[in-house]
Amino acid sequence: MAYQIDARGLPCPQPVLKTKEALEQAKGSSLVVIIDNEASRDNVIRFLENSGVTVEKVETRGNDFFVHTKETAGSVSSGIKPEDHPCAVPSGAGSALFINKDRIGHGSDELGTNLMKAFITTIKDLSVQPKTICFMNSGVKLTVKEAATLPYLKELEEKGIEMLVCGTCLSYFNLKEQIGVGKISNMYDISETMLKSSKVITL
Amino acid sequence: MTVYAVITFHNTHFALKAKKVLEKNGKTVETIPVPREFSSECGFCCKVPWDERDMADKILREHDVQVEHIYRWERDDDKERKNKFTFV
């Protein structure tokens, strides 16, 4: 009789922790671990193998994975800790840039404006790129027609970078009709995007 | 392929002044970060169409903007962004 663990819906590293617990309680019988994402599946398999347990097969049923093991060796005393199985950043998460003004830094507006333009023209040529760029307050001015930054932001958008432009801010500056790139967004989308991102860089 | 002249300066003030002066004289000019190929230091330079380099140089001299170097920048417009710089 296999010892079954349902680790669906659990955030990383919980599935590995539950598997470890189950190994101790299974007392030699085989295990079936049910997981609903690839990162956890890989982590659980790696943990089992490192613990000396043979993974017999991995079944995919719908969105779920069933990891079947052979009979475990009774008391499994491995030095492997769940911490050794780092939680991968969920696929799809990336970094976000939060641009909350139309220039970089304080000291000189002229310099700050040129630095912002240079920053945007530079990131479009780099191999590392953000997943999303959020514009708020006077940052929205970078996205409107006539803005020197507009052609470069358009290039970034064509490369698949999502641009969220604060609608409240466009409206405040009376620029709603002038938007030239990205999509008019709201506080819900912008805050949610930032919280979901692997990191947020504020300019 | 597009060919530009990249004009570098001894400091940021000259670069920003050059942009203003050239714009005032009806030139198409853009300030861009100094490419890594030229200098590892942070700085701005001016990018103008290649054919306008002599005119730009003349205007800058007339306005006491000291030019450091002028480079020829050949830029492929494909996604690879193959750039070629030649000091002129």
Going by pLDDT thresholds of 50, 70 and 90, the confidence category of residue A40 is confident
Tens digits of pLDDT across chain B (88 residues): 889 999 999 888 999 999 999 999 999 999 988 887 777 666 899 999 999 999 999 999 999 999 999 999 888 765 556 677 777 7
Question: Within this chain, do residues A123 and A28 fall inside the same structural domain, yes or no?
Answer: no
Residues 10-49 of chain B with CB under 8 A from chain A are 12, 16, 19, 31-33, 44
CA distances from A182 to A96, A123, A178, A187, A197 (A): 14, 17, 12, 15, 18
- Give the separation between CA B87 and CA B6, rounded to whole angstroms: 9
Please say if the pLDDT value at position A21 is more than 90.
no
Distance to chain B for A183, nearest Cα, Å:
24
Q: How many domains does chain A have?
A: 2
Of A110, A111, A121, the CB nearest to B32: A121
Say how far apart CA A151 and CA A96 lie, in whole Å. Answer: 20
* A91 pLDDT tier (thresholds 50, 70, 90): very low
Domain end, chosen from A61, A84, A107, is at A84
Mean pLDDT, residues A56-76: 85
Domains of chain B, earliest start first: 2-76 (3.30.70)
Q: Do A159 and A128 lie in a common domain?
A: yes
Q: Tell whether A102 and A167 lie within a shared domain.
A: yes
When scoring A117, A124, A149 by the number of chain B Cβ atoms within 10 A, the one with the most, hence best to mutate, is A117
Residues of B in contact with A111 (CB under 8 A): 12, 16
CA-nearest residue to B17 within chain A is A110
Q: What is the SS3 assignment for B37?
A: coil
Residues A76 and A99 in one domain: no
Tokens of residue A35, six digits: 């997981």
Q: Is residue A89 part of a domain?
A: no
**A24 and A76 belong to one structural domain:** yes
pLDDT at A76 over 90: no
Both A13 and A55 in a single domain? yes
Among A45, A63, A84, give the residue marking a domain's end. A84
* Cβ–Cβ gap A118/B32 under 8 Å: yes
User: Is any Cβ of chain A less than 8 angstroms from the Cβ of B71?
Assistant: no
Residue A165 within a domain: yes
CATH code for the domain of A140: 3.40.1260.10
Residue A194 lies in a domain: yes
Final residue of a domain: which of A84, A117, A137? A84
ipTM value: 0.72
Quick one: A67 and A166 in the same domain?
A: no
Same domain, A101 and A63: no
What does the pLDDT look like over A107-117, one tens digit per residue? 999 999 999 99
Which residues constitute the domain of residue A117? 95-202
